[in-house]
Structure 1
Amino acid sequence: MEDSMDSMPTEESALELYEQLSALWLKAGMCARKWLSNSRIVLENIPQKERAKEVNLDTSYLPTTKALGVTWQAEEDVFTFKLNKNVSSVPTVRKRNLLKRVASLFDPLGFLSPYIVKGKILLQQFWLGRYDWDDRVSSNLTDKTMEWLDDLPVLNKVIIPRSLSFNDSKNPSLNVFVEEAYGTAVFMRSKNQDDDISVKFVCSKTRVSPLTAVNIPRLELMAAVLGLRLALTVTKAIVMSMIKVTFWTDSANVIHWISNESRRFKPFVAHRIGEIHTYSAPKQWRYVSTTDNPADIASRRTTAEDLVQNTLWWNGDVTTEDLLDPERFSDWSRLLRVTAWVKRFADNFRNTNDRNKNSVLTVKELQEAENLLIHKAQVKQYPEEYSSIVKGQPIPRNSKLIPLNVKIDEQGMMRCDTRLTHARFLPYDVRYPIILPRKSPVTRLLVKSFHEEGNHYGTNQTLAAMSSRYWFNFVLM
């Protein structure tokens, strides 16, 4: 009998599960033991002889234990990896020693995929070199292997929240990224009751490219199928409809294939496109740039230190496309319009069946472009504050934003929660002014635009015109 893990929304339901499972095992003449929870209330209602031996409720902290090969810190409710300090030391670089180290990294959910896949690629090179288990290897392979091994202790810094906690979220969805290295990564995107957006890493899976020659488009298609299969597994585990899954790829070929009928292609492509069409709709597949694709990290030369600090891997968000650099523009109106055109092009490329062919930009498109520019400026200037708010944590005590009682709206913009919150007769943007970073080029262009309008039309007329625009209501920090 192996260990088992489960999550329950409340302490009451957790205790009910304990009682039901205990009664079920008792009918078979067995007793379930080693119970451990991140709740002291639950543990207090479980007999001591049935708790995990590490549990001591007289101490101020809950224990750390192994769960399905991964270390679980019950007190913080996070997953970590505990590797021996000597794990990176090997007497000599041999195929046997490398395989032993790669196999020792048990990572069923793929938290460490970008790092582990490098070890698998090294193993593949050992096989290609026709080395036996204890043969000496070339100096080049030796250096690469030692570089990979030296990174192993750094994995102790990895900390992953255990709970996805989307039961009380609004419109939770899965976003699956695929890449030709080839691999896939799954993220849960949801909003809480205050419309704050949360993006959490769920799992990933990687594959080493086969030794037989396979062209890049076919590898990208194989990655798409891998992403589809992983999504099917995840949606089954968390009881979610596949309709709520969005797939992202940086391959235009894959998007083209999926948008057409499978019978138009040769067997290799046709069989895989057929499987994709069976479980998903073409409109669920969208394009993302390579730089914004978390799954691409698996194909890069990622070190353990880079992986630990890589926010795209741990908090990948499909809305973080880099469109244009505001530093290159001297006019706010031009930046706004160019951004809107680029955004329309990207949206049309993703949604081939529902393209916007208007010859002029709509007010909505300009509004979305403006929101995107302001959002990116805020995230760039206040990354720690933004990340803390999204995670539901207090912002750093030394932050300038502390007095503003910051909230994040549906567009992902940071706003000031003022004392006018309950003044329903006022517009939303007056009650919740947008926060703009003082030194941002976006802010500079906005202020310059207002100033130039004031010189042209007169200050009073400009103020009256600007008061009808929501972005006139902002706080400079």
Structure 2
Amino acid sequence: MQNVWRSGVNWDDAIGAKEREEWQSWVRLLPEIGNIRVPRCYLNASTSHNIQLHVFCDASEAAYAAVAYLRADLKGEVSCTLVASKTRVAPLKPVSIPRLELMGAIIGLHLSKLIKQEVTLPVTKTIFWTDSKNVLHWIRSDARRYNQFVALRVGEILESSNPFDWRWVPSAENVADEGTKCNQYERMDGDSRWFRAPEFLVLPPKMWPETHLPGSTALEVLHHIQIEPTSNLPLSTIMPKAERFSKWEKFRAAQRNVLHFLQRLMRKPAQSKHLQLALSCPTIEGAENLIILNCQLEAFGEEINCLQRGLCIMPESSGLKEESTQQKAFNLMRKGQLFCQARVLLLHSSLISTIVSTTTYITKSL
């Protein structure tokens, strides 16, 4: 059904030849379901004091599944019985196999909790089996190292189970693999290993598959990189968007709040001298100066570089074309005032003239 959905066929159209063959192959298997006989009795479980619940998990590109068995040991006589299973088709959105394996582990966990709630027998130990070493690495590591998808599911697993109850099993012996693949040649009777449990479960625990996890595969790890502060970062990175404010007063107040927040947050002094000055006294005036300085840096980066290097020659492409305006701008810059172009504004009725670019959003809105 999922492949038919992926093919994009309409409701009234015939499905493709490949999907039709797969469908007919599946339909031919249905009559064989009548040959299946599942024992309802948990052998030796009522008299045994050593009852274990073994849950096998697996996944493929098509589905993920979990199947659970009760293992009852009565004076060395071991019997294994199928209890329940659960299978889910893989999402339509492509998901990596390791993530699908983790989703299989989750339904295995849910299945074990349901069984222990409904079965009245005293289960002494629960063991989970998976052939994915990626999943085992995630479960036995710090969940905070991984991204949200992995971290949330690993956290759920750790809340309800012991990490060392999760063990590795070879893919050839993982019975849950049969629930993740559609094989038309699979035996559909009660003698298949799906209904009888893996053969190694009747053996002593020392003969079970051993779990060896050499080194972390580092899949899905979140790498936290410490980035040193640099003075090359533009001031615009700490400024609200001017387009969001209809009034100049609201914009200045928002910038002041940002400076207050940064003042409490920063442990090291800022490398930018202008930012250091603004953070030392985060007032409305300081926020206003920082906003205008950012406009100047965006519009006249080349001119400011010339002044900082001690050059008195303006670039030919500079918008400061009038000689009087150029000289005023140079004088303002040398005196530590703000450096701008083209339009003179008197802020707060101040007598200090500030030249700002007419192309900025702030200038147009004032």
Tell whether 2:10 aligns with 1:132.
yes
Alignment match of 2:82 (pick from 201, 205, 215): 201
- Give the match for residue 170 of structure 1: 49
Alignment match of 2:212 (pick from 349, 363, 378): 349
- CA deviation map 1:108-130 (0-9, x unaligned): xxxxxxxxxxxxxxx00111122
Tell whether 2:167 aligns with 1:286.
yes
CA contact (8 A) 1:172 1:191 kept: yes
Structure 2 residues not aligned, in runs of 5+: 216-366
The one-letter amino acid paired with 1:172 is I
Identical positions, percent: 33
What do you get for the CA RMSD once the two structures are aligned?
2.7
- CA deviation map 1:397-433 (0-9, x unaligned): xxxxxxxxxxxxxxxxxxxxxxxxxxxxxxxxxxxxx
Query: Which of the pair has more CA radius of gyration?
Result: 2
Partner SS, residue 67 of structure 2 = strand
The alpha-carbon deviation at position 242 of structure 1 amounts to 7.1
Alignment match of 2:58 (pick from 153, 175, 179): 179
Alignment match of 1:145 (pick from 3, 7, 23): 23
- CA deviation map 1:202-238 (0-9, x unaligned): 1111111101111111100010011000100001111
- CA deviation map 1:15-63 (0-9, x unaligned): xxxxxxxxxxxxxxxxxxxxxxxxxxxxxxxxxxxxxxxxxxxxxxxxx
Of the structure 1 ranges 297-306 and 265-274, higher mean CA displacement relative to structure 2 is found in 297-306
The alpha-carbon deviation at position 170 of structure 1 amounts to 3.0
Partner SS, residue 159 of structure 1 = coil
- Give the match for residue 134 of structure 2: 253
- Give the match for residue 232 of structure 1: 113
- Give the match for residue 154 of structure 1: 32
- Partner Cα distance (2:157, 2:189) in 1: 33
Greater RCO, CA 8 A, separation 6+: 2
The one-letter amino acid paired with 1:171 is N
The one-letter amino acid paired with 2:71 is R
- Partner Cα distance (2:191, 2:183) in 1: 10
Pair 214,310 (structure 1): closer, same or farther in 2 beyond 3 Å? farther
Pair 306,350 (structure 1): closer, same or farther in 2 beyond 3 Å? farther
Instruction: Give the structure-1-normalised TM-score.
Output: 0.41
The alpha-carbon deviation at position 135 of structure 1 amounts to 2.3
- Partner Cα distance (1:350, 1:198) in 2: 30
Alignment match of 1:272 (pick from 153, 159, 162): 153
The one-letter amino acid paired with 1:187 is Y
- Partner Cα distance (1:178, 1:288) in 2: 10
Instruction: Give the structure-2-normalised TM-score.
Output: 0.53
CA contact (8 A) 1:248 1:286 kept: yes
Pair 316,228 (structure 1): closer, same or farther in 2 beyond 3 Å? same
- CA deviation map 1:371-394 (0-9, x unaligned): xxxxxxxxxxxxxxxxxxxxxxxx
Structure 1 residues not aligned, in runs of 5+: 1-122, 322-339, 353-477
Partner SS, residue 189 of structure 2 = helix
- Partner Cα distance (1:173, 1:350) in 2: 24
CA contact (8 A) 1:173 1:190 kept: yes
The alpha-carbon deviation at position 179 of structure 1 amounts to 0.4
Tell whether 2:180 aligns with 1:299.
yes
5 Å-filtered alignment, 1:314-353, equals 314-317=195-198, 319=200, 347-349=210-212
CA contact (8 A) 2:87 2:180 kept: no
The alpha-carbon deviation at position 303 of structure 1 amounts to 3.1
| Matched residue count | 209
The alpha-carbon deviation at position 311 of structure 1 amounts to 2.9
Alignment match of 2:93 (pick from 208, 212, 215): 212
Pair 158,169 (structure 1): closer, same or farther in 2 beyond 3 Å? same
CA contact (8 A) 1:170 1:191 kept: yes
Pair 251,305 (structure 1): closer, same or farther in 2 beyond 3 Å? closer
Pair 318,150 (structure 1): closer, same or farther in 2 beyond 3 Å? closer
Pair 234,350 (structure 1): closer, same or farther in 2 beyond 3 Å? farther
5 Å-filtered alignment, 1:343-422, equals 347-349=210-212
- Partner Cα distance (1:175, 1:205) in 2: 14
Pair 305,257 (structure 1): closer, same or farther in 2 beyond 3 Å? closer
Partner SS, residue 306 of structure 1 = coil
- Partner Cα distance (1:222, 1:280) in 2: 15
- Partner Cα distance (1:277, 1:310) in 2: 35
